[in-house]
Amino acid sequence: MTTTSSEHGSEHPDWTRTGFSTRAIHAGQDPDATTGAVVPPIHQVSTYKQDGVGGLRGGYEYSRSANPTRTALEEALAAAEAGGLDVPASGFAFASGLAAEDTLLRAVLRPGDHVIVPDDAYGGTYRLIARVFGPWGVAHTPVDLTDLVAVRAAVRRGDSGATRVLWVETPTNPLLGVSDLAALADVARDAGALLVVDNTFATPYLQQPLALGADVVVHSTTKYIGGHSDVVGGALVVADAARLPGGLESPAGGTDVTGAVRFHQNASGAVAGPFDAWLTLRGLKTLAVRMDRHQANAAAVAEFLVGHPAAGEVIYPGLASHPGHEVAARQMRGFGGMVSFRAGSEAKALDVCARTQVFTLAESLGGVESLIEHPGRMTHGSVAGTSLEVPDDLVRLSVGIEDVQDLVADLEQALA
């Protein structure tokens, strides 16, 4: 194992060349140089003493620009997504997933540009692109990203109005569609556009989009990475080789996406606070073991639902019946912890949501506890009346890490 030197002169392994769990526990998280504490401290501070004007210690001057706890998280996230790959990348931590998305889109788009989005995108992402960036002058087209012919047909070319971003969720929220990332990377590259992948559902443990040609990976770290429903956050991991589309130049100078995102992160300021960064780091350490349990439980829940007469279509990438099963098996380490199913009517879906006892009726996902929700009335209400509207009988499950027999029994009584 190769070693690298820290800023304090000590040597440690090159964590990017280790296994996923080793990276998640150690990358960016050397023991404290002063005390030897094995967990990075929470630097709850706004400003830093300078040794003379411009004499910064470790590059820190003000915590909007950089904070040691946030730096640790950003290094850990970059190692989680890009570790083991020949794809150098940089991580950026934000106050929420949507703050991360907003910062990225401001960094890489200008009025008149065009974005391709999934036709079953997360409602918050669609609201941001359609209702915030739309009035700003950015056009968008929802497309079934599993249909490469349709994606190519949606690409706009030219000096103005061209497609600059191909935005992908895989699996999607809440219909769990699976897109071929390597094929979409070819489409984006041919169009001169960036391939941006929301990897929240899969997590870097199950899928590494940068290895498949993505330029930027997006996370709501609120979900699986945080993992305990106690912190809100977001992240971007940007391939250092990614360049701004359409010949755009960053306000900071240069054409690299990393530099543009770094400028906008500081200029806009929607950064992760030190305590939130610390909580997210704590969650990242156990991501692998939690995801193994999440997806084992989800597979069992999906199999139970397939055999239940009160459940209609069951949607889970791990089922051979799922249209994206083969693609998911090829590009993912596992199939994740999310399951959706059709209840037959909105009334029945709402009834099931009201009757569960172990599954908690709540928005969000990815925590250790199991959650149930009605996307049409809850997380995806913002797409009602659009082409992205979800079926009104859809129920979404975030399968937690409780004992699986209790989860199955709870669903059985709720469906009875």
Structure tokens at 258: 């990393």
Q: What is the CATH number of domain 288-415?
A: 3.90.1150.10
Other beta carbons within 10 Å of 54: 7
Give the up-direction half-sphere exposure of residue 255: CA atoms within 13 A in the CB hemisphere: 8
Among candidate residues 102, 113, 198, 215, the one labeled active-site is: 198
pLDDT reported for residue 99: 98
Cis status of the peptide bond prior to 209, with omega within 30 of 0: no
User: What tokens appear for 283 in the block?
Assistant: 């969650």
Write out pLDDT tens, residues 62-103: 899 999 999 999 999 999 999 888 899 999 999 999 999 999
Q: Report helix, strand and coil shares of the chain as percent, to nearest 5.
A: 40, 15, 45
Of 101, 41, 34, 47, nearest to 71 by C-alpha is 41
Residue 12 is predicted with a pLDDT of 67
- Which H or E run includes 222? none
pLDDT digits (tens, 9 = 90+) for 95-125: 999 999 999 999 999 999 999 999 999 989 9
Active site residue 396: no
Handedness of CA 106, 111, 112, 117 (dihedral sign): positive
Identify the residue with better confidence: 123 or 329. Answer: 329
Chain-centre distance for alpha carbon 150: 25
Q: Which amino acid is at 399?
A: V
Cβ atoms of residues 1 and 19 within 8 Å = no
Structure confidence by residue, pLDDT tens digits, 343-365: 999 999 999 999 999 999 999 99
Q: Is 122 a catalytic residue?
A: yes
From the candidates 70, 127, 223, 333, give the one annotated as an active-site residue: 223
Residue 9 CB partners (closer than 8 Å, separation 6+): none
pLDDT(8) > 60:
no
Residues 32, 41 contacting (CB under 8 angstroms): yes
Long-range contacts of 45-53 (CB under 8 A, 24+ apart): 45/274
* Residue 198 annotated as catalytic: yes
How much is the pLDDT for 2?
52
pLDDT for 318: 98
Q: Counting beta carbons within 10 angstroms of the beta carbon of residue 190, is it exposed (0 to 12), middle (13 to 18) or buried (19 or more)?
A: exposed
In degrees rounded to 5, what are phi and psi of residue 115? -125, 135
Q: Is 164 a catalytic residue?
A: no
Give the percent of the chain with pLDDT over 70.
Answer: 97
Spatial neighbors of 335 by CB under 8 A, at least 6 apart, are 206, 295, 298, 299, 316, 317, 318, 328
User: What are the backbone dihedrals phi and psi of residue 152, each rounded to the nearest 5 degrees, phi first?
Assistant: -60, -40
Predicted local distance difference test score (pLDDT) of residue 200 = 98
> What does the pLDDT average to over 384-408?
93
46 neighbors 67 (Cβ within 8 angstroms): no
Report the pLDDT averaged over residues 226-236: 98
Q: How far is CA 315 from the centre of its chain?
A: 20
Q: Predicted confidence band at 389 (pLDDT cuts at 50, 70, 90)?
A: confident
- Statement: residue 366 has pLDDT above 60: yes
Q: What is the pLDDT of residue 160?
A: 85
**pLDDT reported for residue 9:** 42
Check if CATH label 3.30.70.270 holds for domain 19-283.
Answer: no
Count H helices and E strands in the chain, helices first. 14, 14
Mean pLDDT of the chain: 94
Q: pLDDT category, 224, cuts 50, 70, 90?
A: very high
Asked whether the predicted pLDDT for residue 181 surpasses 50, the reply is yes
18-53 pLDDT, tens digit each = 999 999 999 999 998 889 999 989 999 999 999 989
Q: 355: exposed, middle or buried (C-beta count within 10 Å: 0-12, 13-18, 19+)?
A: middle
Options 122, 126, 205, 224, the catalytic residue:
122
Q: Indicate the domain borders of the chain.
A: 19-283, 288-415
- pLDDT of 7 reads 43
Alpha-carbon torsion (383, 388, 393, 395), positive or negative: negative
CA nearest to 334, candidates 172, 198, 195, 203: 203
Please report, for residues 194, 219, 352, 360, 371, the alpha-carbon distance to residue 290 in angstroms, rounded to integers and kept in the order given.
31, 17, 26, 18, 15
Helix (H) or strand (E) holding 355: helix 346-355
3-class state of residue 357 by DSSP? coil
pLDDT average, residue stretch 262-277:
98
Work out the average pLDDT over 335-348.
97
**Catalytic: which of 14, 30, 32, 64?**
64
Q: What is the pLDDT of residues 130-139, one digit of tens each?
A: 999 999 999 9
Q: Which of 322, 294, 304, 296 is nearest to 398 (CA)?
A: 294
**Model pLDDT, residue 147:** 97
Spatial separation of the C-alpha atoms in residues 196 and 101, rounded to whole Å = 10
